[in-house]
Structure 1
């Protein structure tokens, strides 16, 4: 009996070690972490090349630009920022631009800068109604066609209001249901979706392959504000397991609310993700 118990202990331990070994082997590391430059709006406005240099030193590989008072590239011309990115070993994968009379110029600049994606961070039709979201979807389909002609992929970035309802219909769902999946991609801001009460994993399941871009941020426990990674309530491990369903290509760190210099915040968030396993 004693020998049998010893055998079972050894066998059980061996099995446990085997399972642990398998689990450890399967654990994945976050790769090619990107950053949205709105998080660094002040330093980018003052010294865009110096700020991008610091981001490259931290380890960021992928960049998403954001509109500024100096244009979509912080005073740099499209060819200039393309060259800066190449020199630093960075990829300008995406950029946000305001929908206005200069939209075609934004498309042309994105193509010249070598961007893959050009995103609208707001809806063209104002008002939280189903009809307005259908109108926005119609405009987005046309914008998607215009971008495609220039070799750029069009997309939309959500806030919180898109998850409001009218007559029981979630407005974001209306937008997804009425846009052409081949022309209009979605950049899901996981943090703001969760603040609005939506579950990102629900959308990854319901609209598989529609979310090639993510904004990742942590949210304070007691306030609807972004905070350094690991200090809030977002379960990053759970979110990262949905990459395949969403067809995620790029994820961008974003933190709007800062408690320390922006570059230090981005360093902290990068290092948090670098240690993360999922």
Structure 2
């Protein structure tokens, strides 16, 4: 993992060198379709979902990933109304964070109605930081993935930092990767939590090529162990963006949970940072 000084040196050097690279090296496509995880706007979405979606669309966000709230998976809107709101604003509801629980069948039905492509389990469904539990979870994930595929949607998992702890000399996230079926369990790699967990996302791109169709692009203050605006933390974002192909990423969702001022201002900063790459 590089320190802040090395990050700045590498970023500056890369900014100079990038003029020699193809113009689309950083983006998914020309005019990159970056997305946002709506947990970044959790209070605003709870207070005014439609108004907040309009603000998000106004800064160039094209894809949306929803998150559970006290008003359900779609902030009090029906799945179809959530889809229509995004469609009307030129955005697409791609994914949603959910729990793998006793209500999962209903969750799948909602996802189908919303038109979204992915259902992402947002946290470990059972306690136990040990190999046996992670193998059991992997089996549950495979079954959930199979059920989702039958309905034409994809199941996946979003990591935090605790999955990178070890048991009996094995990294638990690796146990999860090794025991899930790649065609049934589609991993959403939160790059910020990977580095907080003491690991390098590039190592996972190499070890499990093509296994990460979704990213959470999140810079992290490594002292506070919390998210921050792009370029202010410990994630080498230019290098991550150079290695999209190795990871297999199709959708990049920006997520930020703490802010220098407001969520909207932070997201504007992040979008400008990506544009300047």
Equivalent residue number for residue 41 of structure 1: 42
* Per-residue deviation, residues 194-234 of structure 1 (Å, max 9, x unmatched): 01011101111110111000001111142211111111121
1:72-87 matched pairs, under 5 angstroms? 72-87=73-88
Residue 124 of structure 1, CA deviation: 2.4
Once the two structures are superposed, residues 130-168 of structure 1 have per-residue CA deviations (whole angstroms, 9 ceiling, x without a partner) of 000000000000000111111110000000000000010
Offset, 1:27: 6.3
Higher mean C-alpha displacement, 23-32 vs 201-210: 23-32
Query: Would the aligned equivalents of 1:63 and 1:252 in 2 still touch at CA under 8 Å?
Result: yes
Instruction: Tell me whether 1:92 sits opposite 2:93 in the alignment.
Output: yes
Partner Cα separation in structure 1 for residue 161 and residue 220 of structure 2? 13
Q: Does 1:52 align with 2:49?
A: no
User: Relative to 1, partners in 2 of residues 1:68 and 1:21: Cα closer, same or farther, differing over 3 Å?
Assistant: closer
**Native 8 Å contact 1:191 1:216 kept in 2:** yes
1:28 aligns to 2:28 (yes or no)? no
Match of 1:14 in 2: none
- Post-superposition offset of 1:172: 0.3
Residues 110-146 of structure 1: per-residue CA shift (max 9 Å, x gap): 1110101000012223100000000000000000011
Map 1:118-157 onto structure 2 (within 5 A): 118-157=119-158
The answer to whether the 8 Å contact 1:153/1:185 transfers is yes
Structure number with bigger Rg: 1
Deviation track 1:71-101 (CA, whole Å, cap 9, x = no partner) reads 0000000010111111000011110012222
TM-score by length of 1: 0.89
Give the distance between the partners of 1:21 and 1:274, measured in 2 at CA: 13
CA contact (8 A) 1:190 1:214 kept: yes
Per the alignment, residue 225 of structure 1 pairs with 226
Count of residue pairs the alignment pairs up: 258
Deviation at 1:258, TM superposition (A): 2.0
Aligned partners of 1:21, 1:262: CA distance in 2, in Å?
A: 29
Whole-Å separation in 1 of the counterparts to 2:35 and 2:18 = 30
Shift of residue 21 of structure 1? Answer: 9.6
CA distance in 2, matches of 1:56, 1:40: 13
Distance change >3 Å, CA 25–CA 146, structure 1 → 2:
closer
Contact 2:26 / 2:241 at 8 angstroms: preserved in 1? no
CA 118–23 in structure 1, closer or farther in 2 if over 3 Å, else same: same
- SS, match of residue 244 in structure 1: helix
Contact persistence 2:119–2:155 (CA under 8 A): yes
Partner in structure 1 of residue 6 of structure 2 = none
Alpha-carbon distance in structure 1 between the residues aligned to 2:58 and 2:207: 38
Give the structure 2 partner of residue 3 of structure 1. none
Question: Aligned with 1:215: secondary structure?
Answer: strand
Work out whether residues 124 and 139 of structure 1, in 8 Å CA contact, stay in contact via their aligned partners in 2: no
Conservation of the 8 A alpha-carbon contact between 2:196 and 2:222: no
Q: Does 1:177 align with 2:165?
A: no
Structure 1: segments with no counterpart, 5+ residues:
1-19
* Cα distance in structure 2, aligned partners of 1:161 and 1:24: 37
Q: Does the aligned pair in 1 maintain the 2:212–2:248 contact within 8 Å?
A: yes
1:66 Cα shift?
Answer: 0.4
Taking the aligned partners of 2:67 and 2:50, their CA distance within structure 1 comes to 15
Question: Are the counterparts in 2 of residues 130 and 166 from structure 1 also a CA contact under 8 Å?
Answer: yes
